[in-house]
Amino acid sequence: MYAVIDTETTGLLPSHRHRVIEVAVVLLDARGQVEHEWVTLLNPQRDLGPQHIHGILTADVLAAPEFADVARPLGELLAGRMVVGHNVEFDLGFLRAEFARLGVAVPLITERSMCTMALAGYLYPGAKRTLGACCAAAGISIEGWHSALADTRATAELFGRYLNAFPSPPPWQWAYEEVSRLRWPALPSSNVAPTVRPVHAGGRHGWMSRLVDQLPRVPEPPQADSYLALLDMILANREITAADADQLVQVATDLGLTRSQVHDLHQYYVSALAEASWGGGEITAHQRSDLDQVAVMLGRRASDVDEALVRASDGRYAVPARPGARGFPRGSTMVFTGDMVEPREVWWDRAVAAGFVPQEVVRPDTTFVVAADVDSLSVKARAARELNIPIISAEDFRRFLPVQTERKAG
């Protein structure tokens, strides 16, 4: 009756040529009992994207089938069943795109599927947004974080809890009956066997990922959680690249979110993340740096993090002295890169007057880089990214300089 799915992908948007690199299906009967499991890695014939999240290595997929090789068995698993997923619209969008690359349109209809992220808001009112948080609310543990099969098993178990909470037949029986009558197109056959993920592979689940699991839902606008769920995925690594930013803009557009709504969602996200970080009653300098970086990535300020931490701590959080940019302390080493409107010497003097230590080259001990273009491909910018050193814009740096420093340098 049900086909629970999960995908691991090279990015956020199939329209940006991102591909599915792992897909798993767990079949359930009407009572939520497991009937069958199926999973395979896929060779996308391109780079694998955020490997720090999905944990899949190039060596893992070299001998894996391409999507065309598994289209028929996958279609046979999905045909006639109601599809279930966590943020199911994301997975369905990628699967539709993969089938479309083969020249076929498949009846994977979001409005006739079930989303465990959406249902959790009704059955577990206090549950947060992520799969891990929803499973925790239901008392379900996830093993093998960010593998398609592990996530699909967890989603299937979560959906089973939902089934038990509804009468039989469930309120969506009419939708299932429609889906069961949909005809699937003929798909190419293949003798290529599925490839299972090696035991070594597994995504990272660090401090920021655990923090993201604690973020509450956002009921309005209706598309908010779908957008923020993708932000959750990206920020597991504390970094939004220029490509990620482009994809987020496209996602917001596809979801019908206005610029004002996105601005408000980013403001909420930074505040909620900061407040969640105070749950343990303290925050380390490294964690605070992570929060400041997220704020910068979303167009917010370190002061937004300050305000949220003060609220969460009932005023006990001591806002650090911040004479320089984005919370970087006096004495921080920094590097300029790119051609700015004002001469480099002016910026150098401003940095020295603010208590920073400018350097000519990026080194492992460099604290941050100020760039004319934060997406710069300069040698210095590339070195900073390789060393995970934050890059901020010149104008951003200027905004956070003390007023007297600006006057002195000007």
Do 157 and 26 have their domain in common? yes
Q: Specify if 187 maps to a domain.
A: no
Do 308 and 348 have their domain in common? no
Query: What is the pLDDT, as a whole number, of residue 106?
Result: 97
Q: How many domains does the chain have?
A: 3
Q: Specify if 202 maps to a domain.
A: no
What DSSP state is assigned to residue 80?
T
In three-state secondary structure terms, 359 is: strand
pLDDT band at 203 (very low <50, low <70, confident <90, very high): low
Do 158 and 214 have their domain in common? no
Calculate what percentage of the chain has a pLDDT beyond 90: 37
CA-nearest of 144, 138, 130 to 160 is: 138
Q: Specify if 189 maps to a domain.
A: no
Do 100 and 171 have their domain in common? yes
Tell me the CATH number at 367.
Answer: 3.40.50.10190
Do 211 and 340 have their domain in common? no
Do 229 and 287 have their domain in common? yes
The torsion defined by the Cα of 79, 83, 87 and 93, in degrees rounded to 10, comes to 20
Count of all residues that appear for the chain in the document:
410
Do 219 and 285 have their domain in common? yes
**pLDDT of residue 327 exceeding 70:** no
**pLDDT of residue 184 exceeding 60:** yes
**pLDDT of residue 277 exceeding 80:** yes
Q: Specify if 62 maps to a domain.
A: yes
Q: How do the residues of the chain divide into helix, strand and coil, expressed in percent and rounded to 5?
A: 45, 10, 40
Do 22 and 62 have their domain in common? yes
- Domain of residue 249 covers 207-312
Q: Which amino acid is at 89?
A: E
In three-state secondary structure terms, 108 is: coil
The tens digit of pLDDT for each residue in 205-222 reads 566 767 777 788 888 898
Do 308 and 335 have their domain in common? no
**pLDDT of residue 200 exceeding 70:** no
pTM: 0.69
The tens digit of pLDDT for each residue in 306-318 reads 888 888 888 777 7
Query: What is the pLDDT, as a whole number, of residue 114?
Result: 97
Higher pLDDT: 140 or 22? It is 22
Do 339 and 391 have their domain in common? yes
> What's the average model confidence in pLDDT over 325-345?
80
CA-nearest of 103, 267, 126 to 186 is: 103
The tens digit of pLDDT for each residue in 55-73 reads 888 888 988 999 999 999 9
Q: Specify if 200 maps to a domain.
A: no
Q: Specify if 196 maps to a domain.
A: no
Q: Specify if 399 maps to a domain.
A: yes
Q: Specify if 332 maps to a domain.
A: yes
Do 225 and 155 have their domain in common? no
Q: Which amino acid is at 223?
A: Q
Q: What are phi and psi of 6, to 5 degrees?
A: -155, 145
How far is 290 from 286, CA to CA, in rounded Å?
6
* H/E element, 114: strand 114-115
| Residue 255: partners with Cβ closer than 8 Å, 6 or more residues away | 223, 226, 227
Tell me the CATH number at 125.
Answer: 3.30.420.10
